[in-house]
Amino acid sequence: MVKITFDKAAKKEFLELIDKEVDEDGMIVEKSNPNQRVVTFDGQEISIDEFGGVKKGSEVFIKNNIVSLMRLLKR
């Protein structure tokens, strides 16, 4: 199994590419509206530490844990 790990700096650079940023609490927010935090497919806010990726073709944010990945696969 291949595992790719990114540090916070790389995660922040990726988020910049999709017009997101990280607020002072470490939560991912909309760059155009820093008061609006992004959420996962099940409605949970997500921090930079939990960030695992974004589903292709959407802005469905995925936490970096097996439960989130399993839930995504069932959708």
Is residue 28 domain-resident?
Answer: yes
Cα 67 to Cα 8, 15, 29, 47, 61, distances in angstroms: 22, 22, 23, 16, 13
Is residue 3 domain-resident?
Answer: no
Is residue 48 domain-resident?
Answer: yes
| Residue spans of alpha helices (H) in the chain | 8-17, 66-74
**Domain range for 37:** 8-74
- Both tokens of 53, joined, read 């990726």
Q: How many domains does the chain have?
A: 1
Q: What is the pLDDT along the chain (75 residues), one digit of tens a residue?
A: 555 667 888 899 989 989 999 999 999 999 999 999 999 888 999 999 999 888 776 677 888 887 877 777 776
Is residue 67 domain-resident?
Answer: yes
pLDDT of residue 3: 58
